[in-house]
A and B are shown apart, each in its own frame.
Chain A
Amino acid sequence: MAGHNRRVGDQPWVRRSLIGLALTLTVILLVIPVVVIFTQALSAGWTTFAGNILDEYTLHAIGLTLFVALLTVPLNLVFGTALAWSVTRFRFPGRKLLITLIDIPFAVSPVVAGLLYLLLYGRNGWLGGWLSTHDVQLMFAWPGIVMVTVFVTCPFVARELIPLMQQQGSEEEEAGVVLGASGWRIFRKITLPNIKWALIYGVVLTNARAVGEFGAVSVVSGNVRGQTNTLPLHVELLYQDYNIVGAFASASLLAGIAILTLVAKAFVEWKQSSSESPAPEKGGV
């Protein structure tokens, strides 16, 4: 059909003004701030930008942030897969409740989550006293940062997997077991290929959030420069020091990661939709 399939009320001016409004808002709210981050970061020239990035404390913050993400992502990958597996493959009392509980980290403000951890594991906390007598310090150190980051990001993988695994059902796995395959072989050959793209999608989202988390981390980290300062916290510190250009340089790194995440997300979504119907040329044993 070549002509417009116009519905009632779809007059040209309605269409044009709605599209115009959406575009204007996108530009004002999303595009301009991102552009501003990069122009501000580079406002004093490339040399200053490089100097800001290569600053000792900035490098440490980058390192710590990547380190936290590197621990958080595999932890939540295993946790999310196990959780999704158990709620979609088994029937047990409390299953529905568990599915609801998974969303708690989304519902709770990250700052509150941070405070809860401080209350539990801090020096004066319920478990913290016992821990400090055994010379274990979790809060105001990297383990605390990892703990709250894991908490804040734990729903992403499970939330991606549960609907998919529910929809796919367990018949293929049953077929595998009837054919004599071991549990590990079934997971590797049947389950994993079926959930692969959803899993990667969950990892991308987990990673993005782990890198960018501010609220919860700021409560438990103690903001010690060169020790417990992650990149988002570092941005704030620099800003408070009136080092605007330095703050924007660090912020531009975070923005860069965010843009990469979006690209990765779009790619995975595209793969996911095309893996529903594998292309013929993919074939061949």
Chain B
Amino acid sequence: MSITIEKINKAFGQFQALNDVSLDIPEGQLTALLGPSGSGKTTLLRIIAGLESSDTGRVLFGGDDVSKLHVRDRNIGFVFQHYALFRHLTVAENIAFGLESLPRKQRPSKQDIRQRVDKLLEMIQLPQLANRYPAQLSGGQKQRVALARALATQPRILLLDEPFGALDAKVRKDLRRWLRALHDEYHFTSIFVTHDQEEALELSDQVVVMSQGKVEQVDSPTELYARPDSRFVFDFLGHVNVLSGVVKGQKLTQGDAWVSLPGAKSDQEAQLYLRPHEVQLSRTANAHARLPLRIESISLIGSEVRIELQPQGWQSTELWETGMSHAEFASQNPARGELWYAVPNVGHLFFEDSHQPKTVDWHYQNAANASNM
């Protein structure tokens, strides 16, 4: 069932939690609501569920306006951040709760309910824990039970509020993979709230980035990472290296640092955003960029060597960061304290007057000697 959100506004006293939010959630997809705390993502999820009412605007499920429909009648599954399992009921009773709450006419027989619960326990791989109480479960097990409970009435929409927020890293990874597999098998429409970019990008088909009660960008994970629409999305999604400067003589300059920008108008301020993988390190400056940096730290753990760098003769609010393959690291042998030059391949340029970035590709320029949009 697709979900449409039309011009939702919501204020808590003076605080505008949601500001004219419109959104389309396609049927059968796993969508992430991603944003920092206070961006309104949980409020939006609760409005979709009906746990919170919007001041203005509509929510539609499969084209039907459900804004006036009580939570009870929306037939959605909701997984709470802290699981919200019923502490005085066993795992099996928790899972059966939704089925037993159905109106008498629709309610399955006691035996059918028991069978359905057994099947769900199989699905979450915890049949041996049917008679345990929530207090006797680990965090990961609680989350699975919460999911089974939400799915028991076979809702066509599943909403999850920070589903993995309270779990440790290892359990998180397992559960993520498991949720993805579950979603691919049952194909309900799911929305989950998260503040973890990695989680959003890894798990979802579509990511909605939110900030200060507004939708910043809606895109597939690949597009979102490769082509952020705004500074906010850039900053929020992973590390970014920034050179702020002034354009002079077709170069963006600050202190001792510059990069060439053929065709750019002079005397305007601009910021160049570079992802760690869009920058390489070299012992010498080259023809299109001179970005001197001193190696601050080297981290060898992981599939790539991560290097943090301190600008030399120019300023950046945060350290620069780049990666290098272990093979390259072995041959180049960079060491802490050495002076290196960053060489950008592709960059994203924000001018003062524009919200959206302009992509610059120096590889292409070097080959064709022309600017590339």
Contact = CB atoms under 8 A, between A and B. Distances in A.
Interface of A: 171-172, 174-182, 185, 189-190, 193-194, 276-278, 280, 282-285
Contact of A285 (B49, B51, B92): B92
A176 B97 contact: yes
A177 B72 contact: yes
Contacts of A178: 49, 51, 71-72, 76-78, 150
B285 interface: no
Given A278-B133, A283-B133, A285-B131, A180 B86 contact: no
A182 B92 CA distance: 20
Contacts of B93: 285
A171 B46 CA distance: 12
Contacts of B150: 178-179
A169 to B, nearest CB: 8
A176 B92 CA distance: 15
Contacts of B49: 178
A171 B87 contact: no
Contacts of A171: 80, 82, 84
Contacts, number: 81
Contacts of A190: 86, 88
Interface residues of B, number: 33
Interface in B66-111: 71-73, 75-78, 80, 82, 84-90, 92-93, 97-98, 101-102
Contact of B153 (A179, A194, A278): A179
Interface of B: 49, 51, 71-73, 75-78, 80, 82, 84-90, 92-93, 97-98, 101-102, 130-133, 135-136, 149-150, 153
- Central interface residue in A179, A190, A278, by most chain B CB within 10 Å: A179
B interface SS class: loop
A232 to B, nearest CB: 39
A284 B153 contact: no
List 9 A-B pairs, minimum CB-CB distance, nearest first.
A179-B98, A171-B84, A193-B88, A181-B101, A283-B131, A175-B84, A178-B78, A180-B101, A278-B133
A278 B97 CA distance: 19
Given A180-B102, A185-B101, A193-B88, A175 B132 contact: no
A178 B98 CA distance: 8
A274 to B, nearest CB: 11
6 contacts: A175-B149, A179-B101, A180-B102, A189-B89, A278-B135, A280-B136
Contacts of A280: 132-133, 136
A177 B133 contact: no
A180 B153 contact: yes
A279 B90 CA distance: 12
Given A189-B86, A283-B133, A181 B92 contact: no
Nearest to A185: B101
- Central interface residue in A171, A172, A174, A178, by most chain B CB within 10 Å: A178
A146 B77 CA distance: 48
B153 A276 contact: no
A283 B129 CA distance: 11
B84 A174 contact: yes
Contacts of B51: 174, 177-178
A194 B87 contact: yes
Contacts of B89: 189
Nearest to B12: A91
A26 B88 CA distance: 39
Nearest to A280: B136
A222 B98 CA distance: 57
- Central interface residue in A172, A180, A185, by most chain B CB within 10 Å: A180
B80 A174 contact: yes
B72 A180 contact: yes
A91 to B, nearest CB: 10
B87 A172 contact: yes
A96 to B, nearest CB: 15
A190 B135 CA distance: 15
